[in-house]
Amino acid sequence: MRLDIWYIALALLFLLAGEVFGEWMARSHDHSVALVHSHINVIGWASFALFGLIHRAFPALAGSVLALPQFVLAVASAVFFIGGMWVIWAAGDVFGAIAGAYGLMAATVLFIIMFFQRVVFAK
Ligand code: HEM
Ligand code: HEM
């Protein structure tokens, strides 16, 4: 599985979703969900595109056993986090967003480990 391609493909879909959401906010003058919009864009678009480009720049990362778990955890957590922020706005329940936030932090730690093992300290 080409994780560089998949990260960038997903990032493009998040960008479109973020733009549609932003346009809806602008048109409805309802900015109360701006945090959902901003995180679709900064996590889904910007961070995922960067994960994809970093994978592309350092192909050795794909050889790590952590690469696929990191990808699956990051994507699932982003969905929980962004969906959970919407649930906080709609219903006040914080569980999904907190689970997503810890998942995203864990996915970041996995990426850091991969980068140090496969790039920084690579022979
Ligand atoms: C069609 C494209 C877009 C539209 C129509 C749009 C629209 C909006 C609107 C209406 C707000 C609310 C402003 C407020 O209440 O303060 C907002 C906030 C924000 N947007 Fe977008 N946006 C778009 C694309 C993007 C993209 C591509 C990014 C990031 C890569 C982005 C990042 C943000 C951020 C970080 C905020 C929060 C800013 C703050 O809290 O002051 N947006 N956007
Ligand atoms: C686990 C990951 C993350 C968590 C738990 C988180 C949480 C939050 C929270 C609670 C706020 C609201 C702050 C406030 O209004 O007082 C916020 C705002 C913001 N965050 Fe994040 N964030 C995360 C990841 C990121 C990432 C990766 C980026 C950028 C690449 C980012 C960019 C921003 C920006 C620009 C704002 C202000 C935009 C706005 O008010 O709509 N966040 N974040």
pLDDT in tens, 19-61: 999 999 999 999 999 999 999 999 999 999 999 999 999 999 9
Q: How many domains does the chain have?
A: 1
Identify the domain containing residue 93 by its residue range: 3-120
Segment 86-113 shows an average pLDDT of: 97
Among all ligands shown, which has an atom nearest to the Cα of 35? Answer: 2
Write the Ramachandran bin of 5: left for phi over 0, alpha for psi from -120 to 50, otherwise beta: alpha
Angstrom distance (rounded) from CA 30 to CA 64: 44
Does pLDDT of 9 surpass 90?
Answer: yes
State the pLDDT at residue 75.
Answer: 98
Please list every protein residue whose CB sits less than 6 Å from any atom of ligand 2.
34-35, 38-39, 42-43, 46-47, 101, 104-105
Q: Which CA distances in Å does 75 have to 42, 70, 100, 120?
A: 14, 9, 10, 25
For ligand 1, say whether the CB of 38 is within 6 Å of any of its atoms: yes
